[in-house]
Amino acid sequence: MRIAPGLAVLGLLAGCAAPRQAGPEPAIASVPEVKITQEPSRTDFAFEGAIAQGGAVIGTAPSGTVALRFGAMTVPVADDGRFLIAFDRDAGPVATLSARLADGTSIAKSLNVLPRAWRLERVDAPLRSIASSEAFMTIRKPELERIAAARAVQTGSQGWRQRFIWPRTGRISGLFGAQRIYRGESGAYHGGIDIAAATGAPVLAPADGVVILAAAAPFTLEGYLLMIDHGAGLNSAFLHLSRIDVKEGQAVKKGQLIGAVGSTGRATGAHLHWGLKWNDARIDPLLLTGPMPGAGAPDPGMPSD
């Protein structure tokens, strides 16, 4: 779903647009490999995941950690010392972790954040701005309030610890981070991944979690919207569904049927848009799942909704 800048703040995820003919896709080789380091001693951290723009990392804090900060943010640490952090699509080159130990000492660590080569399409046309009408905002405001309220829910799910699976297999028709440039002016980037599939195709839970939003009626932009909290600030959003098979407050297991692909809301055709956020950071599902099973290179087209 792609939303013009006048509506950028109104969308659940920076969005999608109809497919356009474009040049070659940047190599997925820019996706960093997952690396696991040794178990930490008292004076160091250990990490598993992609320290990269759009990436997420499961870390282990130094022994005796009683408080952890990631930049200006306080990060919860589990009893076993594990924690989750993630890096927005536009994260800067360096991030800082700081652990405070029970004895009052502190340990800080700088993380070098790998830049990514995002797919950019340059369009020889002016960027169109869409004004938000009063009638539109009357409908949209309560939708945004529901989304914000859902994201504020803390369920205690442990799904964030799992290796995520694809909620739907198929051709990737829109990559995370793709963006159009209109005569030098940047449009909104694509905040999730689009998977082409027929209406009614099953959608599965990518990891354990708790349903925090299950739209009983289509949202203006997202259509039938389903959101699942995986714990530690990480949540999934599934847009444009034709059917939702779970209820708010319901615990779901990795691989469980949760709904079906559709084209509801602002979409030009049937597909699944899957977005992931850690707190306010949009992250790339591809870095949590690995390559699409049995698929070749992603479609070079822009996002399909």
Same fold, 5-27+118-289 and 32-112: no
Contact 20, 12 (CB under 8 A): no
Q: Mind listing the pLDDT tens digit for each residue in 104-121?
A: 999 999 999 999 999 988
Q: Is the pLDDT of residue 49 over 80?
A: yes
**Percent with pLDDT over 90 in the chain:** 70
**Domain parsing of the chain, residue ranges:** 5-27+118-289, 32-112
Contact 51, 112 (CB under 8 A): yes
Q: Does the domain spanning 32-112 belong to CATH 2.60.40?
A: yes
Predicted local distance difference test score (pLDDT) of residue 124: 74
Average pLDDT over residues 230-239: 98
The CATH number of 5-27+118-289 is 2.70.70.10
Predicted local distance difference test score (pLDDT) of residue 16: 56
Place 294 in a pLDDT band, splitting at 50, 70 and 90: confident
| Angstrom distances, CA of residue 205 to CA of 77, 126, 167 | 25, 40, 6
Neighbouring C-beta atoms of residue 220, cutoff 10 Å: 14
pTM: 0.83
Contact 21, 180 (CB under 8 A): no
Average pLDDT over residues 205-224: 98
Torsions phi, psi for 255 (to 5 deg): 90, -5
Please, which residues have CB within 8 angstroms of residue 216's CB and are 6 or more apart in sequence? none
Q: Mind listing the pLDDT tens digit for each residue in 3-39?
A: 444 444 445 544 554 444 444 444 443 555 545 444 5
Top-confidence residue, 130 or 301 = 130
